[in-house]
Amino acid sequence: MAQEYRENLRLALDTLLSHKLRSFLTMLGVVMGVGVLMLVAALLTGFNQSVVETITSFGADTASVSRFSQGPRFGGPRPKEERLRKPLTFEDGEALSACCASIKAVTIWITQWEKMHQLRYQGNEVDAIDLRGTLPNYPMVYANAAMREGRFFTEAENIHRDDVAVLGRDAASALFGPLPAIGKDVQIDGSTLEVIGVLERPNGNFGFDDEDRRVLIPYQTFRKIYPAAYENAFRLEGRNGQLDTAVDDAREVLRRRRKVPYGKPDNFLIQTAQQQVAQFHAIVGMVAVAMVVLSSIGLLIGGVGVMNIMLVSVTERTREIGVRKAIGARARDITWQFLAEAMALTGAGGILGILLIEGIVLVVRYATSMKAAVPIWAVLSGLGVSLAIGLVFGVWPAVKAARLDPVDALRYE
């Protein structure tokens, strides 16, 4: 039996090599279908790894608190109910620390989502910086706030509204290059601040751009520069093993302070890193399903092409089939011969698709910072799907060849 399979495979490969151009054009649909499937798997795998690293880098025992149910929106306005919510206040954040024994620390930060800030030093500029006013305990709560150079600002500097700033690593590199950043004066929207520290770049990224454009200044300094700012948010750290309790306690305190009626939903959002990861996975899952459907259309078209070319091959080789039957070939032998040809054709297309996407992914990894990678399950799935396409769409041509009458086949011109 094994010898028969090897013989059928050899005949299949000989047939493909004898019609190279036709075989290549036929397998293009399979190449594209498998390629899209694997490319989506590679990009989503890399993107998922980066986002999960970024989210968890905030701290495993921490949770974010904001008045909106989602982060900043760029695709349209927020729902009216969210827009009408009153902002969180500095006092709300202080109440969490004072009233919740399960909370180890709370850091408060303030920003202006609607304003695009620009950082300057002499002739160098960094646009769209992530400017926040925060408290000196920011590095205690955020695990991704390790210092690369210098120091973080102190409580005294916050109270006295000192004009000091801590820059993200890439923001500092863009302004100063290899020169030390500590002690330099930078301008933000016309205000001059002294750089006292540079942060390490956090783990993870959100795609092709992982630049750390954070600029952190004392909370009270931010209020001095931007007196109209009101968008406060918090990040709380639960005591060991008490994050869920800390979240529940924080929710109770905020509902009471914001006078949320019993039975009504929260008019704020408390979200842990695990919840953010789960939410992201749900979005990725929907994207993956959509891309699988699109790639399936390409595979279907490729399969129809394979069936068509195999039917043409049966017609062209009618006399050959008649000769094989005349010298003792069984219907099963003819069936497996043409099935092997169809599967070899689509299998070769699958291999080409795998090699093509592996090359593209390597280029993406070297040309960008995205951690794209083709998972082994995607390689095996792509190869398996390509062989299955040949098996399914090769059945009818193979059965048609096996049913040919040997006498009629030998007379075929």
pLDDT tens digits along 97-109: 888 889 999 999 9
Query: Is a pLDDT exceeding 90 seen at residue 72?
Result: no
Using a 10 angstrom Cβ sphere, with 0-12 exposed, 13-18 middle and 19 or more buried, the burial of residue 263 is exposed
| 278 or 4: which leads in pLDDT | 278
Same domain, 184 and 89: no
- 59 domain residue, yes or no: no
Note whether residue 75 is domain-resident.
yes
Range of the structural domain that residue 394 is part of = 2-54+280-411
Provide φ and ψ at 37, rounded to 5°.
-60, -45
Q: Are residues 312 and 407 in the same domain?
A: yes
The per-residue pLDDT of the chain, averaged, comes to 82
Domain limit, last residue, from 267, 292, 326 = 267
Specify the pLDDT at position 153: 95
**274 within some domain:** no
Whether residue 288 is found in the same domain as residue 334: yes
Average pLDDT (79-99) is: 87
Residue 275 lies in a domain: no
The verdict on 407 and 290 lying in the same domain is: yes
Same domain (yes/no): 288, 378 = yes
Can you give the pLDDT at residue 370?
67
CA nearest to 223, candidates 233, 213, 214, 231:
231
Lookup: tokens for 329: 């070939």
102/140 Cα distance (integer angstroms): 16
Which has the minimum average pLDDT: 113-117, 131-135, 382-386?
113-117
More confident residue, 147 or 302: 147
What's the rounded Cα separation, in Å, for the pair 357 and 388? 20
**Looking at the structure, do residues 92 and 136 belong to the same domain, yes or no?**
no
284 and 407 part of one domain:
yes
Do 147 and 253 lie in one domain? The reply is: no
In a domain, 22, yes or no: yes
Q: Which residue has the higher pLDDT, 202 or 96?
A: 96
Sorted by sequence, the CB contacts under 8 Å of residue 101 that are 6+ apart come out as: 249
Same domain (yes/no): 321, 390: yes
Note the pLDDT of residue 342: 84
How many C-beta atoms surround the C-beta of residue 16 within 10 A? 18
- Could you tell me if 296 and 384 are in contact, meaning their C-beta atoms sit under 8 angstroms apart? no
Pairing outcome for strands 214-218 and 130-134:
parallel
One domain, residues 255 and 316 = no
pLDDT of residue 9: 60
The secondary structure of the chain, three-state, reads CHHHHHHHHHHHHHHHHHCHHHHHHHHHHHHHHHHHHHHHHHHHHHHHHHHHHHHHCCCCCEEEEECCCCCCCCCCCCCHHHHCCCCCCHHHHHHHHHHCCCEEEEEEEEECCCCCCEEEECCEEEECCEEEEECCCHHHHCCCCCEEEECCCCHHHHHCCCCEEEECHHHHHHHHCCCCCCCCEEEECCEEEEEEEEECCCCCCCCCCCCCCEEEEEHHHHHHHCCCCCEEEEEEEECCCCHHHHHHHHHHHHHHHCCCCCCCCCCCEEEEHHHHHHHHHHHHHHHHHHHHHHHHHHHHHHHHHHHHHHHHHHHHCHHHHHHHHHCCCCHHHHHHHHHHHHHHHHHHHHHHHHHHHHHHHHHHHHHCCCCCCCCHHHHHHHHHHHHHHHHHHHHHHHHHHHCCCHHHHHHCC
The radius of gyration computed from the CA coordinates of the chain, to the nearest angstrom, equals 32
Mean pLDDT value across residues 159-173: 94
Whether 272 is covered by a domain: the verdict is no
Q: Is residue 262 part of a domain?
A: yes
The structural domain count of the chain equals 3
> Do 287 and 404 sit in the same domain of this protein?
yes
Q: What is the pLDDT of residue 207?
A: 42
Surface-to-core class of residue 251, CB atoms within 10 Å of its CB (0-12 exposed, 13-18 middle, 19+ buried):
middle
Whether 306 and 406 map to the same domain: the answer is yes
- In this model, does residue 73 exceed pLDDT 50? no
Average pLDDT rounded to a whole number, residues 240-266: 90
Rounded Cα–Cα distance for residues 348 and 26 (Å): 11
Whether 62 is covered by a domain: the verdict is no
pTM of the predicted protein model: 0.66
